[in-house]
Structure 1
Amino acid sequence: MAPPLLQLKNIGLGFGGRPLLDGVELTVGAGERVCLVGRNGSGKSTLLKIAAGQIEADHGSRFVQPGATVRYLPQEPDFSGAATTLAYVEAGLGPGDDPHRARFLLEQLGLTGEEDPATLSGGETRRAALARALAPEPDILLLDEPTNHLDLPVIEWLEDTLKSSSAAMVMISHDRRFLAGLSRVTVWLDRGTLRRIERGFDAFETWRDEILAEEEREQHKLDRKIVAEEHWMRYGVTARRKRNMRRVGELEDLRRARREFRGAAGSVALTAAQADNSGALVIEADGLSKAYDGRPIVKDFSTRVRRGDRIGIVGPNGTGKTTLLSLLTGTLAPDEGSLKLGTNLEVATLEQTRESLDPNATVAATLTGGRGDSVTVGGKPRHVIGYMKDFLFAPEQARTPVGALSGGERGRLMLARALAKPSNLLILDEPTNDLDLDTLDVLEETLADYSGTVLLISHDRDFLDRIVNAVIVPEGDGRWTEYAGGYTDMLAQRGRDLSRSTAGKATKDEPPEPKAVRDQEPKAAKRRLGFNEKHALETLPKRMAELQKKIAALHEKLADPSLYSRDRAAFDEISADAASAETELATAEERWLELEILREEIEGR
């Protein structure tokens, strides 16, 4: 077996209180592609910095194969001392590296090399940092949120580049599709420890849920055993006559184990405060046009947005996505055309740059506006500490300056502030940046339950597919086209991606695509439910009801406090039956939901 390129052993690190990392082990072999997942604040970036040699752990060891080169992509690169982007990338090259790769990669990423680092946008900063990490063709790549602030063409270029690389990789990313396409190993940083599975990110969520479910079952058994032992302490004949010190000690050990158990972190409780319904027609745009210095950004664009629509705006950076969004919401006047906004609109906005956050203000003051200790959510006052907990902020963070928060924490703070405001129109500009996967799941559920209208700019393909029912993309020369469905549906209708070489440039053999509107039927072959699908739709509800009754009966048996001490074998058997029934019920519900959605789509065609 070949020795590892990188190995971390028994890594421990703490900043007071519980350790952030506790006995962490990580091994990376040649060519391995590892995705590192975990909650915001769990220590992923810290662990990557230890692997890169940027910081030292309190204890443990770091080994890098002699002669192996390591390159680290931080979330916030340091450009100090670099006069241009080319100088910054060249500073990362080693003595034997090809100096021409620095300029080549910058050009591939849409930069000239002459840019002043002080004037770079978020996307340009990320592209320059990627060029610096990739230019030496390292043996080990450590990538912290590599897709943040990148547009879709660059993300797809990066995926292709990494797939063709022979480097070993450890990646942190919120982009599910990016991780699923590249990873072959998944490591999960959870409550200070690291778990590993020799499979890619596609398998992670099922694996994680199985682990958490097993933990719940073990804790339930522990709770029942404590109840049984406490019953013996109070009522046992031996206990009344003479204390059995061994059993007393065992009970104390059980209680200590229960106290010290670090349960899974609570989930984010996002709820969008909803105002009264807007009018049925939210936005009507007719022939909108906008140009800067003679360059058309939007030309003759028309659309109708109805209440409940979820519209995604995508495209390469610099094509005018934010300009189009500003035109549609009336915050920017068009050069030509007309805009009609619906009645009773209440707008809440989440901007990408988060510049509206005062870095010197505390978390509590940001949510309350500096007035008192309560925040108005949906027109009702809530104590700021309770509202902070919904977004996974600890009470002691109330006085933490915003500038001291991580990127993910600032993202959650922006969400907390935006969602507290009653609205029926949500404007989201890159809402997924820096959010962990669990928070993204809850954000998606929140938007699914939101009865208002959503306009969003995003480069997250999976998020777009899950949320939007229409996508607007640039076709060049200020022309924008609207396609029905999500991002994948848009690609199927458009017939090509959004790469710089083709975006908006119809070839001689390829005429511009006709506009697709949300009310049109998708151009797909007529689909019918098969016999097995029809049968499952008819029989699954009955089976789910039977399983629910069975689970309720089993839980009622488990609620008997004396069952564990009276009949351990029966307790274990009933627990196993309940877990099996719950798994079967979840599978049945998921299958029924898939078939019901399919049936509605077919009948709606």
Structure 2
Amino acid sequence: MHYVTVEGLTKSYGTKPLFRDISFHIEEGDKIALVALNGSGKSTLLKIILGKESPDEGKVWIHKDVNVVMLEQQADFDLSKNVLENIFDHSNPILNAIKEYEALTDEEAPEPDHEALAAAITKMDELNAWHFDSKVKQILGKLNIHRLDQPIGSLSGGQQKRVALAKVLIDIGFEHKHVLLIMDEPTNHLDVSMIEWLENYLDQERVTLLLVTHDRYFLDSVCNEVMELDQEQLFIYKGDYENYLEKKAAREESDKASVEKARNVYRKELEWMRKQPKARTTKSKSRQDNFYEVKAKATTRIQDQQLELNVKMTRLGGKILELKKVYKSYGELSILKGFDYTFKKGERVGVVGKNGVGKSTFINMLLGKEEPDSGKINVGETIVFGDYSQEGLVIKEDVRVIEFVKNIAENFPLADGTKVSAAQFLELFLFPAEKQYTYISKLSGGEKRRLHLLSILFRNPNFLVLDEPTNDLDLPTLSILESFLQEYQGCIIIVSHDRYFMDKLVDHLFVFEGQGQIRDYPGNYTQYREWEKEEEKRKTQAQKEVKPVPDSTKAVTQAPEKGKKMSFKEKRELEMLEQAIEKLEGEKKEIENELSCGNLPFEKIAPLTTRMGEILELLDEKSIRWLELSEIEG
């Protein structure tokens, strides 16, 4: 099915064109990644598709049966309401029933009124909403959203982003069949297990997707097409991220060759034009007209729009950074328990762990922003930290880009011994002259991040601390940043959920496992995840192999342990499982009878076989859960 058609779209801001005469189509099942340099118009294009902005020229056609849903960078929540009320803000009978049921059965909520709970369960039964409730629980659980009665305004930015993601995923589950899901940086503020779950979820749901992301593993796993905005044009590449890189490189080589050929023709034609008499024949006029077309092509500037990082590093002395018996905790949350470590020259450490285990606190202690409860953190005299934090730029008042940089320094030393002015340094960071006089508040999120990076490197640090550095940076900038960091001679600490970025740069990991335990793992992130999965398999296998031996003496002298009391909710779930299993067994028997009759048309065999596989999977899943609940019932 044809979802969206974009034809001849042109958009400018003032004198700056974002894109000219671009066209593309979105078909059902497409999973498209939109990539471009920050400030090239990605967000504007998404807003035009959503109908929030109008193009200067061109049109957007969306099929009347298609609903467009977007996960934006900044969620528009009602801060006076709680998490549950913000997630279920639609007036949909099934959603309303689930909202009422979840409010009554929330673990943090007080004991519910039994009549109200019985009425809520009856309504769930009438609307057959239990399947949807199960999906809602999965989404909320995987995104670590549990306190549904918590005011949305009391949550951190990262927590709000996860609630916004949950809301979007729940909404598309209740929409009619045809949904175009637009996601702007969906992996920001998610830990790796959440990102991996989201990859699988989007694949299973078979949604039609238009995605802006810096996470290249996520892009590669989810998307089957890449659209790139580059120098006001749109280029479309079918296939994965690797294919996009190969085809883009080939296109750029072809463009350079085409311009070089035009320049050779231009030189010859220019010589001919200068020799021409003033009187024009028809033939010479045609050649002169063609000359101007060749000239336009020959004078095309192949803009190699790449961030150039060529910075000087402050000399690094013998003593770097030393932690001795460091303890830190907040209430019952232990972050460090007697942590010892001595950093060496050129060390590259990744810091990973689930949200809330103390990674940011650890970084703040290294930077001197927080004090340990006990122990010592000794910083070498020559150390100059470069703190590239999630908070971003801190400015007292809105200023122009050039003023902000000049307030740091007028000139900047490069690694080759030369100096450049503040304006020239800005150009190296893809801020052309006209952009340098823009107020910082008018920059895109990615441009602000790029300016923040510039302000860090301007101070010539020799110990870089990068806290989620890939958030909001575009892919071309990330590629150059990675190349720079690979050649960087100083120390680097990276806190990031970007697996691709970590894999390219770190030598080993500090894994925050919780309760003050930190594992020093020798390898990159992917190697650690593979090791972790193998460990989980090994532990599961060991538990299966260990069979408890009954103690006959205890059996005589000790009364059997009383089974755990089932909750009302669990009893209801057990009843529903029994009904569902009975229904599935009946359907299975019907299909077996049809398949064994011997006169079934060929075109009916395939769908029945597929359905039989689905039924067997459901029976296995529900039978395991039935056994778990039966054991509780005792």
Q: Is the pair's TM-score, using the shorter chain for normalization, greater than 0.5?
A: yes
Decide whether the 8 Å contact of 1:314 with 1:471 is kept in 2. Answer: yes
Q: Give SS of 2:382's match.
A: coil
Aligned position for 2:51? 53
Q: Deviations over 1:208-239 (max 9, x none)?
A: 111111000000011111111112234x5x65
Within the candidate set 116, 140, 152, 1:106 is matched to 140
Q: Work out the CA distance in 2 between the residues paired with 1:186 and 1:241.
A: 53
CA pair 46-262 structure 1, distance change in 2 beyond 3 A:
farther
Decide whether the 8 Å contact of 2:388 with 2:452 is kept in 1. Answer: yes
Within the candidate set 125, 133, 152, 1:117 is matched to 152
CA pair 488-222 structure 1, distance change in 2 beyond 3 A:
same
Aligned position for 1:148? 188
Q: Deviations over 1:387-443 (max 9, x none)?
A: 111111121222322121111101100110001112211111111111111111111
User: What is the RMSD of the two structures over their aligned residues, measured on CA atoms?
Assistant: 2.7
Q: Work out the CA distance in 1 between the residues paired with 2:20 and 2:150.
A: 43
Q: Give SS of 1:164's match.
A: helix
Distance apart, 1:40 and its partner CA: 1.2
Q: Deviations over 1:356-384 (max 9, x none)?
A: 2446122122212277x555667976322
Q: Work out the CA distance in 1 between the residues paired with 2:169 and 2:7.
A: 27
Q: Work out the CA distance in 2 between the residues paired with 1:334 and 1:82.
A: 37
CA pair 357-118 structure 1, distance change in 2 beyond 3 A:
farther
Confirm whether residue 131 of structure 1 aligns to residue 166 of structure 2. yes
Q: Give SS of 1:475's match.
A: strand
CA pair 18-369 structure 1, distance change in 2 beyond 3 A:
closer
Aligned position for 1:515? none
Q: Deviations over 1:299-324 (max 9, x none)?
A: 22222210000111011221110112
Task: Count how many residue pairs are aligned between Structure 1 and Structure 2.
Answer: 496
CA pair 390-175 structure 1, distance change in 2 beyond 3 A:
same
Aligned position for 2:202? 162
Show the 5 A alignment for 1:435-454: 435-454=473-492
CA pair 92-189 structure 1, distance change in 2 beyond 3 A:
farther
Q: Which moved further from structure 2: 287-296 or 263-272? A: 263-272
Confirm whether residue 298 of structure 1 aligns to residue 298 of structure 2. no
Within the candidate set 474, 481, 489, 2:527 is matched to 489
Q: Work out the CA distance in 2 between the residues paired with 1:92 and 1:382.
A: 56
Q: Work out the CA distance in 2 between the residues paired with 1:97 and 1:57.
A: 36
Q: Give SS of 1:338's match.
A: strand
Aligned position for 1:12? 10
Decide whether the 8 Å contact of 1:377 with 1:421 is kept in 2. Answer: no
Distance apart, 1:191 and its partner CA: 2.2
Decide whether the 8 Å contact of 1:8 with 1:61 is kept in 2. Answer: yes
Q: Work out the CA distance in 2 between the residues paired with 1:94 and 1:191.
A: 44
Show the 5 A alignment for 1:12-411: 12-80=10-78, 83-91=81-89, 100=98, 104=137, 105-111=139-145, 112-136=147-171, 137=173, 138=175, 139-234=179-274, 244-259=284-299, 261=300, 263-279=302-318, 281-358=319-396, 360-369=398-407, 374=411, 382-411=420-449
Aligned position for 1:516? none
Q: Give SS of 1:88's match.
A: helix
Q: Work out the CA distance in 2 between the residues paired with 1:376 and 1:78.
A: 44
Decide whether the 8 Å contact of 1:272 with 1:450 is kept in 2. Answer: no
Confirm whether residue 479 of structure 1 aligns to residue 513 of structure 2. no
Decide whether the 8 Å contact of 2:353 with 2:513 is kept in 1. Answer: no
Q: Give SS of 2:434's match.
A: helix
Q: Which moved further from structure 2: 263-272 or 391-400? A: 263-272
Distance apart, 1:186 and its partner CA: 1.6
CA pair 339-316 structure 1, distance change in 2 beyond 3 A:
same
Q: Which moved further from structure 2: 11-20 or 65-74? A: 11-20
CA pair 199-23 structure 1, distance change in 2 beyond 3 A:
same
Decide whether the 8 Å contact of 1:312 with 1:457 is kept in 2. Answer: yes
Distance apart, 1:12 and its partner CA: 2.0
Q: Work out the CA distance in 1 between the residues paired with 2:90 and 2:501.
A: 34
Distance apart, 1:509 and its partner CA: 5.3
Decide whether the 8 Å contact of 1:82 with 1:88 is kept in 2. Answer: no
Q: Give SS of 2:510's match.
A: strand
Structure 2: where are the runs of 5+ without partners?
99-131, 544-634
Matched residue type, 1:425: F
Aligned position for 2:547? none
Decide whether the 8 Å contact of 2:190 with 2:497 is kept in 1. Answer: yes
Structure 1: where are the runs of 5+ without partners?
511-605
Distance apart, 1:265 and its partner CA: 5.0
CA pair 228-358 structure 1, distance change in 2 beyond 3 A:
farther
Q: Work out the CA distance in 2 between the residues paired with 1:178 and 1:82.
A: 34
Give the structure with the larger helix fraction.
2
Matched residue type, 1:84: N
TM-score (norm 1): 0.76
Decide whether the 8 Å contact of 1:191 with 1:262 is kept in 2. Answer: no
Decide whether the 8 Å contact of 2:33 with 2:226 is kept in 1. Answer: yes
Identity %: 29
Aligned position for 2:567? none
Q: Work out the CA distance in 1 between the residues paired with 2:53 and 2:43.
A: 11
Q: Which moved further from structure 2: 200-209 or 359-368? A: 359-368
Q: Work out the CA distance in 2 between the residues paired with 1:381 and 1:204.
A: 37
Aligned position for 1:461? 499
Decide whether the 8 Å contact of 1:377 with 1:420 is kept in 2. Answer: no
Q: Work out the CA distance in 1 between the residues paired with 2:151 and 2:279.
A: 84
Q: Which moved further from structure 2: 118-127 or 162-171? A: 118-127
Aligned position for 2:620? none
TM-score (norm 2): 0.73
CA pair 362-377 structure 1, distance change in 2 beyond 3 A:
farther
Confirm whether residue 418 of structure 1 aligns to residue 456 of structure 2. yes
Distance apart, 1:507 and its partner CA: 8.4
Q: Work out the CA distance in 1 between the residues paired with 2:459 and 2:198.
A: 37
Following TM superposition, the consecutive aligned residue runs of length 4 or more in structure 1 with deviations greater than 4 angstroms are 92-99, 238-243, 373-381, 506-510
Decide whether the 8 Å contact of 2:79 with 2:151 is kept in 1. Answer: no
Distance apart, 1:278 and its partner CA: 2.4
CA pair 345-18 structure 1, distance change in 2 beyond 3 A:
closer
Distance apart, 1:493 and its partner CA: 3.6
Q: Work out the CA distance in 2 between the residues paired with 1:17 and 1:451.
A: 42
Decide whether the 8 Å contact of 1:187 with 1:197 is kept in 2. Answer: yes
Q: Give SS of 1:133's match.
A: helix
CA pair 18-331 structure 1, distance change in 2 beyond 3 A:
closer
Q: Work out the CA distance in 2 between the residues paired with 1:129 and 1:356.
A: 26
Decide whether the 8 Å contact of 2:309 with 2:428 is kept in 1. Answer: yes
Q: Deviations over 1:60-85 (max 9, x none)?
A: 22222223222101112222465223
Q: Deviations over 1:317-350 (max 9, x none)?
A: 2111011223334443222333333342122211
Q: Which moved further from structure 2: 400-409 or 486-495? A: 486-495
Decide whether the 8 Å contact of 2:511 with 2:518 is kept in 1. Answer: yes
In our comparison, the structure showing a higher alpha carbon Rg is 2
Decide whether the 8 Å contact of 1:473 with 1:481 is kept in 2. Answer: yes
Distance apart, 1:18 and its partner CA: 4.7
Distance apart, 1:116 and its partner CA: 2.9
